[in-house]
Structure 1
Amino acid sequence: MTVKAPPVTVDFLSRFTASEQFQKVFQEGMGLVEETANYLDGPGRQEARLLDRHGAVAYATESMRLTTRLMQLASWLLLQKAIGAGEVSSDEARKERHRISLAEIGRGNALMGSDQLPQGLLDIVDRSLSLHQRVQKLDAMINMQAKSSATAAESPVSSQIDRIAAVFNAARP
């Protein structure tokens, strides 16, 4: 009689963080953080000076939303990279995940003066929103895999199968 070994769960996170796809997302995210900082400190600052009071408030609000979104994305990307490299234990990762919020930090309501926002800022905002959506999907996939792995590990049926397999493996010469 042949006993099937329990199915092995593929560790999506380890494979993903080692993949070319993750490297591209990581580089895009970090590049966008750097590009945003350069824009806000350079051309964006000059463009903001040309705005009236309402435009300046809209610019400040949108740039604050943008930087908040990018800092959360960068934190998530760096955490995933550290987990994949084995630099962070699963307990540490769980604690850090609670500090990172990938909740929607969208455009929010249109503000008076938002029609004056410079195209450079709007372009960066659009790209950050696109990246944010992709990272949310990746995070959901990672969380789903982690929950299914935990459920499989805690399953009473799974533990019984493991015990039966151990008996049969011990009985082999």
Structure 2
Amino acid sequence: MSEPSMGSGNTIRLAERRVFSHSFKPLYDEGMGLVEQTAEYLDGKGRVEAKNLSRLAATLYAAESMRLTTRLMQVASWLLLQRAANSGEMTRDQVAEEKAKVRLDTASAREDAAGWSELPSAFLDLVNRSLSLQALVRRMDEEIYGGGAPAASSARRSNPVSDQITLLRTAFAGG
């Protein structure tokens, strides 16, 4: 494992130090735990709760569920790539190249959207936690790798699901 890069002057980038050290494990565990909790909720209690929503709220729930799962899959992909770099399975350059496919900008509906107040509180908690985690990961990503991916990389995105499968295969290729 190489030493963290230096920022301007002798300032060590704290996000980079966190990602490329043992203190990354709690962040990784939090992210993967949220993925698991969300899947359990959406497949169980959430499915039951959604059946009791008005048509408007049910439509919003369906759309927000897709945003939630997309957001979490993107965050999970980023975390898996950082773990691969941290464990030496991938070089930091390989991670930077692959992570350019990861989008950390999945928005959510606004709280004043019609039907929002009808959504189950457990679901809203998952949405809010996922947004907080995405914001943290995005800040860390910007500090470590710099802001913004090249425009060409996002223009080439023909199939986001295929991109996610490729990222997951890459992250697990060493194991």
> Structures share a fold, TM > 0.5?
yes
Matches within 5 A, 1:1-173: 9-10=5-6, 13=16, 16-20=19-23, 22-103=24-105, 105-109=106-110, 110-144=112-146
Q: Any unmatched runs of 5+ in structure 1?
A: 1-7, 145-173
1:106 partner amino acid? A
| TM-score normalised by L of structure 1 | 0.71
SS of residue in 2 equivalent to 1:99: coil
| Residue-pair matches, total | 135
- CA gap of 1:15–1:25, structure 2 versus 1, over 3 A, is closer
| Inter-partner Cα distance in structure 1 for 2:38 and 2:20 | 24
* Aligned residues of 2:35 and 2:72 also touching (Cα < 8 A): yes
Aligned partners of 1:122, 1:79: CA distance in 2, in Å?
28
User: Deviation string for 1:53-86 (max 9, x for gaps)?
Assistant: 1111010011111101000000000000101111
**Aligned in 2, Cα 1:107/1:50: closer, same or farther, shift over 3 Å?**
same
Alignment partners' CA distance in 2, 1:18 and 1:49: 44
Instruction: State the 1:39 CA deviation.
Output: 0.2
Aligned position for 1:170: none
- Superposition TM-score, scaled by structure 2 size: 0.70
Greater C-alpha Rg: 1
SS in 2 for 1:86: coil
- In the TM superposition, residue 95 of structure 1 has moved relative to its aligned partner by 2.8
For residues 15 and 115 of structure 1, the distance between their equivalents in structure 2, rounded to whole angstroms, comes to: 37
Deviation of 1:121 (Å)? 0.3
Whether contact under 8 Å (1:14, 1:84) holds in the other structure is: no
Alignment check: 8 A CA contact 1:72 1:100 kept: yes
RMSD: 2.0
Instruction: Evaluate the alpha carbon distance shift between residue 97 and residue 143 of structure 1 in structure 2; reply closer, same or farther with a 3 A threshold.
Output: same
Contact 1:44 1:121 in 2 (8 A): yes
Structure 2 unaligned regions, length at least 5: 7-11, 147-175
Which residue is 2:156 aligned to? none
Q: Residue 141 of structure 1 aligns to which amino acid in structure 2?
A: E
Give the AA of the match of 2:21. Answer: A
User: Higher helix share goes to which structure?
Assistant: 1
Query: Following TM superposition, by how much is the alpha carbon of 1:14 offset from its aligned partner in structure 2, in angstroms?
Result: 6.4
